[in-house]
Chain A
Amino acid sequence: MRRPPLAPLILAALAACSSDEAPPCEGPNGPCIELAPSGGDDHGALQTALIEAAPGDVIYLAAGTYEVSQGLSLAVDDVTLRGAGMDETVISFAGQVDGAQGLLVTADGFTAEDLAVMDTAGDGIKVEGGARVIVRRVRVEWSGTPSQDNGAYGLYPVQCTDVLIEDSLVRGASDAGIYVGQSERIVVRRNRVERNVAGIEIENSFDADVFENTATENTGGVLVFNLPGLQVQNGSRTRVFDNEVFDNNWPNFAPEGNIVGKVPQGTGIALLAAHQVELFGNRIADNQTVNAAAISYYMTQLELDDPEYDPFSDTIYIHDNEFSGGGDRASGELGFALLAALNNLEEPPEAVPDIVFDGIMDPDKMDGDGLAAEFNLCIREGGDADFVNLDAEHEFAGVSLDMAPHDCEHPALPAVELDGIDL
């Protein structure tokens, strides 16, 4: 073959590699850095592009499957990794031999969009210590039946500020599909999470809005947790609203030892040592252990040795949700504790009530037998949502279905705004 000039060769090669004509890709720096799958191991090509990217670059991954044998990493600020669609551009880590995640980002201004990350050995995409993180229209998935051998987290920003995760899909994570930990200013919206142990988890974080997501067929749908022993803790101010949280009845497949391993199969929304949380406008249905629960860390029965940590849930406001079904097959250690508590009632209800409170309260925030007004668990549900206070503090002796002590409201939490990201 004659040697053509270089530029036409590039174009010909690109065209030959992708099934469709590639759309023009432009970034702030001009044309995107374009890659196409080689058919062999693409680790070197992708990693080189990630290392050599300049701030503002867009790395465009043409449609196809990229086989990648080692974890990828990005340390350059303001880089966008863009594919041709979450079903079209697939980075497959099925043969991964190194790296505890598919992609590790330690940079600010990272955007991932329109691509899929499949079958990573560990976590899918981890962003550590980044500002302005955007993940949109990204699919993270582990093939096959959910297994404890799957990676822990799908989308995993930790110690980040200003995080937007939207229109994404995570399936099969052995811990949480979307997990935002030790972060500030977070919006998680319009995602679908299914067949994970936890669908969405906001942990040790401040100012999170979780809305218009669909969480189904997870072990637990949406979790707002605070855990001890971390650099950023006692997180607060989370709104969980307008979500669809139903049929989260998948058996728990987390490796034992992980906190989500304690989430009972059939949990809708769970708040653990959570502060200033507003749950409203959600449809919460058919979660077989409990539709919604607010509990303290003590319910995990784990060792606790952290004087800085606040293990109690307080200042929770649950209102205007739509509850149906659920609570009809309580499972797991916590599920059995629930049933034990309910059996202390003269007339135990047929199903676990929609909203469960463990009744373990911070003595410093109490007024009489309950929480002081400003810290109280407030419930304003129309319709027939029901409630139980387990009184776990006293080994369920005072278990009560009476919602009256919780007939109150808290001021609405403000909508989260992200610095540097338009919503």
Chain B
Amino acid sequence: MRRAAALALAAALAAGCGDDLAGGPDAGPEDCAPPPGDAPQFDLAGPACRSLSSYRFFADGPAQVPAEGVVPYEVNSALFSDHASKHRFLWLPPGASMRYQAEGAFELPVGSVLIKTFGYLADLRDPSAGERLVETRLLVHGEDGWYGLVYLWDEAQADAHLQVAGAVVPVEWIHKDGEPRALDYLVPNTNQCAQCHVSDQVAEPIGVRARHINRDFAYPDGVDNQLAYLTRAGLLTGAPADPDQAPRAAVWDDPTTGTVAERARAWLDINCAHCHSPGGPARTSGLDLRASQEEPARYGVCKPPVAAGGGSGGRQYGIVPGAPDESILVYRLESVEPDVRMPELLRQTVHEESLALVREWIAAMEGSCGAE
């Protein structure tokens, strides 16, 4: 079946030579066949659904209102995605639960789906002014491990449709400063899911860890700690009864949650450590940006680059204490060039606010790089 689809695609492409194929139709696998009913469903054995609505994860998809059994959640510090707004949900097969881990990703049962929708608020200052949904990513725990599916919301904002090879979507919004902004938003292809979600050659969730989701959430029936709520709902086992006994990452932009260093490290952890960790794709660089890494040389202090190329910006070390403008880390966060910027995938704008935090953290560091 896969082969036939690919050949059909190749034929379609060849037949269309001379045409601009960007954003063209995907080589669609055959469509799924949801069982009757209203309940959310994901059939691991069947083909992926062409339309997001077929999974019935939402009571109201365009409004991102989840169906019963689909639980929304938030993370303490989030990956920066060119100012996109995000809606996160998790769905476990009926009757199943996930197992708490203090450090790594929770153990989710096969058949679980993590759902994350990316959109753009019309006005970042006023969430009530409307939102344009762009894509919904599913991270699915299949029989052979986790894999990603990407659904692209249609112009009418009625439904989202499977998109294998990525897409470019022009978006615009009013920024926090009241100025209009626009960019060509990049939707990842399904391979790129793995480029962030792989550790030790195995795909895994990033956000569903104690330190990221140990926080309050405004549920329809009131504010509650997410670990406590999930436990009470029977979806999580093994978590400490008191959430204060579980790890909790700082909220990078909330000074009440940690020191400048703790918040900068928390931001680097969620934005960088999925690659820059001993099992991550950027392990070859020797740079480890997990918040748990305590050895300064490992998280970049006075560490020479290995394969940075132009990414070094002519600077000698990842972090030079007291000198953000001599630190490669800062140079790469400030850049939007494809071969320089970090994170390297998809980011096209500079996140000024977190950059200021990282600069503040480095500026306050004491010491120097000896050989400088």
From B2, B16, B278, B315, A231 is in contact (CB under 8 Å) with B278
Complex CA–CA separation, A106 to B19 (angstroms):
31
A76's nearest neighbour on chain B, judged by CB, is B191
| Cα–Cα, bound, A56→B346 (Å) | 30
Residue total for A at the interface (Cβ-Cβ under 8 A): 79
Q: Please give, as numbers and ranges, the residues of chain A lying within 8 Å of B316 by CB-CB distance.
A: 256-257, 302
The segment from B65-73, B222-230, B306-314 found at the interface with A is: B306-314
- Determine if B191 and A74 form an interchain contact, defined as CB atoms under 8 angstroms apart: yes
Which of B27, B284, B305, B338 has a CB less than 8 Å from the CB of A181?
Answer: B284
* With A40-B20, A44-B23: A255-B314 Cβ-Cβ less than 8 Å: yes
Q: Contacts A47-B191, A230-B286: A52 and B9 contacting too (C-beta < 8 A)?
A: yes
The contact of A35 among B14, B190, B194, by CB within 8 Å, is B14
List the count of A-B residue pairs having beta carbons below 8 Å apart. 226
Q: Assess whether B166 is in contact with A151, with CB atoms less than 8 Å apart.
A: no
CA distance A39 to B22 in the complex (A): 11
In the bound complex, do residue A34 and residue B10 qualify as a contact, i.e. CB atoms below 8 Å apart?
yes
Known contacts A73-B189, A75-B194, A231-B278; is-contact A255 B309 (Cβ 8 Å):
yes
**B 180-206 contacts with A by CB, 8 A:** 184, 186, 189-192, 194-195, 198, 201
- A38/B13 in contact, CB under 8 A: yes
Contact residues of A between 222 and 280, Cβ < 8 Å to B: 227, 229-231, 254-259
Interface stretch, picked from B39-47, B247-255, B296-304, is B296-304
Contact A257 B313 (CB under 8 A): yes
Contact A38 B20 (CB under 8 A): yes
Which residues of A lie under 8 Å from residue B297 when comparing CB positions?
A: 229, 305-306
Q: Are A10 and B11 in contact (CB under 8 A)?
A: yes
Contact partner of A52 (CB less than 8 A), chosen from B2, B201, B338, B372, is: B2
Which residues of A lie under 8 Å from residue B16 when comparing CB positions?
13, 38
The smallest beta-carbon distance between B276 and chain A, in angstroms, is: 12
Contacts of A123 in B (CB 8 A): 309, 339
A-facing mask of B310-348, CB < 8 A → 1, else 0? 111111110000000000100000000111000011101
Interface locus among A95-103, A162-170, A337-345: A95-103
A50, B14: Cβ atoms closer than 8 Å:
no
Size of B's binding interface in residues, CB under 8 A? 70
Minimum distance in angstroms from A140 CB to a CB of chain B:
14
- Chain B residues with CB under 8 Å of A390's CB are none
Contact A303 B10 (CB under 8 A): no
A216 within 8 A of B: no
Distance (whole angstroms) from the CB of B311 to the closest CB of chain A = 8
B116-134 vs A, CB cutoff 8 Å, 1 = contact: the mask equals: 0000000000000000000
Residues in B neighbouring A352, C-beta threshold 8 A: none
Q: Tell me the smallest distance from the CB of B197 to a CB of chain A, in Å.
A: 12
Say whether, besides A34-B10, A74-B191, A44 and B165 are in contact (CB < 8 Å): yes
A174 touching B310 in the complex, CB below 8 Å, given contacts A122-B338, A158-B284: yes
With CB as the reference atom, state the residue of chain A lying closest to B343: A100
Within 8 Å by CB of B328, from A10, A49, A227, A257, lies: A257
- Cβ of A403 within 8 Å of any chain B Cβ, yes or no, is no
A257 close to B195 (CB less than 8 A): no
> Which chain B residues border A9 with CB–CB below 8 Å?
11, 15
Q: Is B95 an interface residue (CB 8 A)?
A: no
Output the least CB separation between B332 and chain A (Å). Answer: 11
- Please give me the residue from chain B that is nearest to A96 by CB atom: B338
In the complex, are the beta carbons of A10 and B15 less than 8 A apart?
yes
Residues of B near A14 (CB, < 8 A) are 14
- Minimum CB–CB distance for B65 against chain A, Å: 32
Any chain B CB within 8 A of the CB of A301? yes
Scan A16-51; emit 1 where CB is below 8 A from any B CB, else 0: 110000000000010101111111111111011111
Given A73-B192, A230-B284: A49 touches B6 (CB 8 Å cut-off): yes
Q: What mask results when residues 172 to 187 of chain A are scored 1 for a CB within 8 Å of chain B, else 0?
A: 0011000101100000
Bound Cα distance from A49 to B372, whole angstroms: 48
- Give min CB distance, B42 to chain A, whole Å: 20
B178 at the interface (CB under 8 A from A): no
A322 in contact (CB, < 8 A):
no
For residue B340, give the distance in angstroms from its CB to the closest CB of chain A: 8
The verdict on B164 contacting chain A, using a C-beta distance below 8 Å, is yes
Among the listed A69, A230, A257, which residue makes an inter-chain contact with B308, where contact means beta carbons less than 8 Å apart? A257
Residues of chain B within 8 A (CB-CB) of A36 are 13-14, 17
> Does A159 have its Cβ within 8 Å of any Cβ on chain B?
yes
Q: A152, B21: Cβ atoms under 8 Å?
A: no
B17 touches A303 (CB 8 A): no
Give chain A residues whose Cβ lies under 8 Å from the Cβ of B7. 31, 33
- The reply to whether A152 and B308 form a contact with Cβ atoms under 8 Å apart is yes
The answer, yes or no, to whether B371 is at the interface (CB within 8 Å) is: yes
List residues of chain A with CB within 8 A of the CB of B186. Answer: 70, 97-98
Chain A residues with CB under 8 A of B17: 13, 16-17, 36-39
Closest approach, in angstroms, between the C-beta of A216 and any C-beta of chain B? 22
Given A152-B307, A230-B284, A303-B317; A40-B312 close (CB under 8 Å): no
Contact call B309/A231, Cβ cutoff below 8 A: no
A366 interface residue per 8 A CB criterion? no
Nearest B residue (CB) for A179: B307
Q: A52-B2, A98-B186 are in contact. Are A153 and B10 (CB under 8 A)?
A: no
Residue of B19, B309, B317, B328 most packed against chain A (CB within 10 A): B309
Nearest A residue (CB) for B203: A75
Q: Is B338 a contact partner of A303 (Cβ separation < 8 A)?
A: no
Q: Are B9 and A10 in contact (CB under 8 A)?
A: no
Tell me which residues across on chain A come within 8 A of B184, comparing CB atoms: 97
In the bound assembly, the distance between CA atoms of A43 and B370 in angstroms comes to 46
- Determine whether the beta carbon of A153 is less than 8 Å from that of B9: no
Q: State the CA gap A302–B372 with chains docked (Å).
A: 8
- The interface residues of chain B lying within 8 Å CB-to-CB of A49 are 6, 9-10
The 28 sampled A-B contact pairs (Cβ below 8 Å) are A9-B15, A13-B14, A35-B14, A36-B17, A38-B19, A38-B20, A40-B22, A44-B24, A45-B13, A45-B21, A52-B27, A52-B164, A98-B186, A98-B348, A99-B344, A120-B339, A152-B311, A152-B339, A158-B284, A175-B309, A229-B304, A230-B286, A231-B278, A231-B283, A255-B311, A256-B314, A257-B315, A303-B372
8 shortest interchain CB distances as A-B pairs: A152-B309, A257-B312, A122-B339, A40-B20, A256-B314, A121-B338, A17-B17, A229-B286
